[in-house]
Structure 1
Amino acid sequence: MVEHRPVLTALAHAVLILGVLAVAFPVWLAFVASTHPSTTFLSGLVPLWPGDHWRETYGQMFGTGISTSGAPPLGLMMGNSLIMALSIALGKIAISILSAFAIVFFRFPFRHLAFWLIFVTLMLPVEVRIVPTFKVVADLGMLNSYAGLAVPLIASATATFLFRQFFLTIPDELVEAARIDGAGPLKFFRDILLPLSRTNMAALFVILFIYGWNQYIWPLIVTTDERLYTVVMGIKRMVDVADAEPQWNYVMATATLAMLPPVLVVVAMQRLFVKGLIEQEK
């Protein structure tokens, strides 16, 4: 039984408030920086309250874009990031749930070996596989394309492992009942496993969407066409301008807007995300 003590409750709330402030303060500074002229931050003083240039900054970004600041228009970059993030998240879930379904519910030679070979790839991060992966993508003619951005990052040993562990908790009686009712493998997968995996897929979607949205190294290598730049690449390009000072108001405005899609995904799927991490619907 948990004891409710006012002092401990107040201390817990104080710690939580400090944690929220520590996380939110840099975001607030980024927003404040986007509302001031770019020359304000060149003086070394950082204002803590918004200025009166937010209409000009955000109006130019949503209107003519920021191509003069060293990057393509913001809408194009955010669209590229959205396509890449959705392709990676949905592709990883689709491939992982099918591979886990085959490993758990089908009997074929070396199926355990196949799973462990998939699992071993967790020890090989993307950075280790960049050169051979780039060679394969180049040979397939997928450079400077949305397929080149997303397809090499779709395979996921982590998601396969999580779905496999969940499928192993499915009662054998449920499988036998479906077989007696005449349900084939695809019908069992569609009508039983997919509904039961709803919260798990939601939790993975949130994690994988953020993973795809924040990608930087792979898009930087596989794309040279500015029309395919992602928003993370755009921010880095805006900071590394040659023979000029970065326009920090545009950089911070881009960073602020780049945070919105992941935040909206987390907020919209918060309930399913939490249930997928702590519960198992069976």
Structure 2
Amino acid sequence: MVERNPLLNLLAHAIMILGALVVAFPIYLAFVASTHTAQDIMQAPMPLWPGSNFWASYEAALTGTSRASGSAPVARMIWVSFVVTMIITVGKISISLLSAFAVVYFRFPLRSLCFWLIFITLMLPVEVRIGPTYQVVADLGMINSFAGLSVPLIASATATFLFRQFFLTVPDELVEAARMDGAGPLRFFKDILVPLSATSIAALFVIQFIYGWNQYLWPLIAATSEDMYPIVIGIKQMIGAGESPVDWNVVMATAMLAMLPPALVVVLMQKWFVKGLVDTEK
């Protein structure tokens, strides 16, 4: 039995609180900056308490009515990011489920080789194959489209590997019972494997949503129209808008708005996310 030590508990909580404050302080500064005018932010020292320009800053960001919003309004960029992220997330999970199902439950020549070829693609991230990928997307006329921003990113060897490892733990008796009840492959997949994989799907949904939302390099070259900028690219465009002054309050408001969707996904799906990572009853 581990003996509880009040002093060690106090020290552990103090370290945890200190770490949380260190992580949260830059976010707090961004929020404070978004509530002041650009002139107030440029003063030294910068204000450390919220100001009275909250509504004006966020309205300017959402509608694109400021010098910093040289591209599309933030509301449009958030919509583009959300659509692209959902396509990437759902696409990765769907393709990974089907590919893992095929590798585990179907007998065909070179099955193991096919899996390892999928797994080897982990060594070829988007940054390595970005040239050929861009050429294919351009030849198909998918530049400045939701398909062009999302389709090259929807395959996931990691998710395929995780689902394969989980499917291998499903008892063979369950497969035999489903076969005796007359369930075909697709029904077994839909009615048994997918429900059993719910927690893993939820955990991967959170991970892939954050991955898709934070994509920068591929949208930077696949989106040349301001109407198709995701929020991450939009923030960069606001900062590097040429010689014109930067409305830092609007930039910070945009950064705060950009953090809301992934933060909400993590908060709302935290229970499923943790269960999918640590559940030992599978």
Sequence identity percentage:
64
CA contact (8 A) 2:38 2:249 kept: yes
Match of 1:114 in 2: 114
User: 1:213: how far off?
Assistant: 0.4
User: 1:59: how far off?
Assistant: 2.5
CA contact (8 A) 1:66 1:74 kept: no
Match of 2:59 in 1: 59
Match of 2:164 in 1: 164
CA contact (8 A) 2:67 2:246 kept: no
CA contact (8 A) 2:67 2:245 kept: no
CA contact (8 A) 1:66 1:72 kept: no
Match of 1:123 in 2: 123
User: 1:43: how far off?
Assistant: 3.0
Match of 2:275 in 1: 275
Alpha-carbon distance between aligned partners in 2 of 1:67 and 1:173, rounded to the nearest angstrom: 64
User: 1:121: how far off?
Assistant: 0.7
Alpha-carbon distance between aligned partners in 1 of 2:171 and 2:141, rounded to the nearest angstrom: 46
* Structure 1 residue identity aligned to 2:150: A
* Structure 1 residue identity aligned to 2:89: A
Alpha-carbon distance between aligned partners in 2 of 1:124 and 1:238, rounded to the nearest angstrom: 31
Is the partner of 1:259 in helix, strand or coil? Answer: helix
Structure 1 gap ranges (5+): none
1:10-38 deviation per Cα after TM superposition (whole angstroms, max 9, x unaligned): 11111110111011111100000001111
Is the partner of 1:183 in helix, strand or coil? Answer: coil
The 1:196/1:66 distance shift into structure 2, 3 A limit, reads: farther
Structure 2 gap ranges (5+): none
Alpha-carbon distance between aligned partners in 2 of 1:253 and 1:71, rounded to the nearest angstrom: 15
User: 1:218: how far off?
Assistant: 0.5
User: 1:197: how far off?
Assistant: 0.3
CA contact (8 A) 2:60 2:66 kept: no
Aligned ranges for residues 85-104 of structure 1 at < 5 Å?
85-104=85-104
Match of 1:81 in 2: 81
CA contact (8 A) 2:104 2:168 kept: yes
CA contact (8 A) 2:210 2:262 kept: yes
Query: How high is the TM-score relative to the length of structure 1?
Result: 0.97
Alpha-carbon distance between aligned partners in 2 of 1:173 and 1:66, rounded to the nearest angstrom: 63
CA contact (8 A) 2:67 2:244 kept: no
Is the partner of 1:275 in helix, strand or coil? Answer: helix
Aligned ranges for residues 256-271 of structure 1 at < 5 Å?
256-271=256-271
Alpha-carbon distance between aligned partners in 2 of 1:272 and 1:281, rounded to the nearest angstrom: 14
User: 1:280: how far off?
Assistant: 4.8
Q: Superposition RMSD on alpha carbons, in Å?
A: 1.2
Alpha-carbon distance between aligned partners in 1 of 2:203 and 2:264, rounded to the nearest angstrom: 14
Match of 1:105 in 2: 105
* Structure 1 residue identity aligned to 2:186: L
Match of 1:49 in 2: 49
1:74-122 deviation per Cα after TM superposition (whole angstroms, max 9, x unaligned): 1000000000111100000000000000000100001100000000011
* Structure 1 residue identity aligned to 2:131: V
CA contact (8 A) 1:96 1:159 kept: yes
2:41 aligned with 1:6, yes or no? no
1:149-172 deviation per Cα after TM superposition (whole angstroms, max 9, x unaligned): 000000000000000011011111
1:202-227 deviation per Cα after TM superposition (whole angstroms, max 9, x unaligned): 00000000000011111110111111
Alpha-carbon distance between aligned partners in 2 of 1:110 and 1:66, rounded to the nearest angstrom: 58
2:246 aligned with 1:242, yes or no? no
Q: How many residues end up aligned between the 2 structures?
A: 281
User: 1:245: how far off?
Assistant: 2.6
2:229 aligned with 1:229, yes or no? yes
The 1:266/1:178 distance shift into structure 2, 3 A limit, reads: same
Alpha-carbon distance between aligned partners in 2 of 1:44 and 1:106, rounded to the nearest angstrom: 67
Match of 1:34 in 2: 34
Query: How high is the TM-score relative to the length of structure 2?
Result: 0.97
The 1:170/1:36 distance shift into structure 2, 3 A limit, reads: same
